[in-house]
Amino acid sequence: MKNVKYAKCVKCGKIYEATPNLTNCECGGILDIVYDYDYIKANLTKEKLAARPHDMWRYRELLPIEETTEPTPLRVGWSPLYEEPRLAEKLGLKQLWVKDDGQNPTASLKDRASAMAVAKAREAGAKVIACSSTGNAASSLAGNAAAAGLKTYIFVPSRAPKGKVAQLMTFGATVISVQGSYEDTFELSKKAIEKWGWYNRNAAINPYLSEGKKTVSLEIAEQLQWKMPDYLAISVGDGCTIAGTWKGLKDLYAIGFIDKLPRLISCQAEGCCPLNRAIAENKDWHPMEENTLADSIAVGVPRNADKALMAIRESNGIVVNVSDAEIMAAQKLLGMTCGVFGEPAGVTGTAGVKKLCEQGVLGKNDTVVSVVTGNGLKDVANAIKACGEPITIPSDMDLLLKAFADKGIVVE
């Protein structure tokens, strides 16, 4: 890879050759891919980019793949970035955009990392990929691997919503539903991966995954014609997504494509916010219980704490925790005002933005991008609980009129 120099441990600084099988540093630290920005500058222009297909591989000079590596089969990335003036007005913001990453092929941002895992597994000559996941990494890996003809072994906690498990089974993964927490699930997957030598798509362990995730911020920048907002809000579990988002922004800054870095807004659930707590108290992180209905970010032991905390601090970021009720209210608000349906963890970023507006931290001078990280159809049970019942009547016009009258609905 001419665009990549090496991988470097974020803890001890040890340097590794960027081979496709990289995992953690021998010290246990997480590796970061270091690029040759001079090479990239000389080989990538905005004009060149503009002519390319609309998927994540359009940024290949900024991605850790061989020049000869084929794009993966499913179309991942280039999700829409909607400007939302009505929601901005409601919240009291100058400008707000919503990036709907639930529109990826398996309906979450995780497709960006899983497509990268498939590309690297192919480079490594692997035939089998494995991971543990709260659900979305699992279903996205299963889908992207199925399309590429690779086998998958997937470990999920037994609490994973049915929508995600249905995807897994349909994509033909061998699924192990672990009776325990995400932490327990992770530990079992780790042992199995060691035993059988499968290609490892575990969050944080594989340093290429957050490089895939960073394409979300590369796209946001390009979709905004390289004019960056003041803030970028995103939900946080293991921390790979927010770390990747920051990496993408720094890459673009380093090659001169953008001249301003937004501040990150790290949004977690009140019932599980080890990373935000560490920032708020300016201390190390400590495990927490996984006490939220936002299952994708119910991560008590974040796997990518180092990179995530660094990203939030470097960006002079803001942290905000929201209750499950606030998450479900944001889901409804996004649905009603934007027509965007996010799963609970998917809308936690927007819930955080709303809360910061109410607290007066954000206001009429601020421009914000809020990333919706997963589609609402992943977890219909919680949505139905939060939304209430529809009008249920027999096929009878009189009963319809009566129901409207009872509910005070005035037909326009």
Ligand X SMILES: *Cc1c(COP(=O)(O)O)cnc(C)c1O
Contact residues: ligand X, CB under 6 A: 108, 110, 136, 203, 235-242, 296-297, 299, 343, 345-346, 373-374
11 binds, among Zn ion, ligand X, none (CB under 5 to 8 A by kind): Zn ion
The rounded distance, in Å, linking the Cα atoms of 301 and 64 is: 27
Smallest separation, CB 314 to Zn ion (Å)? 19
Name the residue nearer to ligand X (CB basis): 212 or 229.
212
Contacts of 371 (CB under 8 A, 6+ apart): 98, 99, 101, 109, 216, 220, 232, 233, 234, 235, 245, 349
31 belongs to the binding site for Zn ion (CB under 5 A): no
Name the residue nearer to Zn ion (CB basis): 304 or 382.
304
Q: Which of 258, 260, 209, 191 is nearest to 230 (CA)?
A: 260
25 belongs to the binding site for Zn ion (CB under 5 A): yes
Name the residue nearer to ligand X (CB basis): 156 or 329.
156
Residue 70 has what DSSP assignment? P
206 binds, among ligand X, Zn ion, none (CB under 5 to 8 A by kind): none
22 belongs to the binding site for Zn ion (CB under 5 A): no
Q: How would you label 159-193 residue by residue, b for 16+ Cβ within 10 Å and e otherwise?
A: bbbebbbebbeebebebbebeebbbebbbebbeeb
12 belongs to the binding site for Zn ion (CB under 5 A): yes
Q: Which amino acid is at 364?
A: K
205 belongs to the binding site for Zn ion (CB under 5 A): no
Name the residue nearer to ligand X (CB basis): 299 or 318.
299
Smallest separation, CB 36 to Zn ion (Å)? 22
27 binds, among Zn ion, ligand X, none (CB under 5 to 8 A by kind): Zn ion
Name the residue nearer to Zn ion (CB basis): 14 or 86.
14
Residues 184 and 216 sit within 8 Å (Cβ to Cβ)? no
SS3 (DSSP) at 174: strand
Residues 300 and 274 sit within 8 Å (Cβ to Cβ)? yes
Smallest separation, CB 114 to ligand X (Å)? 11
14 binds, among Zn ion, ligand X, none (CB under 5 to 8 A by kind): Zn ion
Residue 78 has what DSSP assignment? -
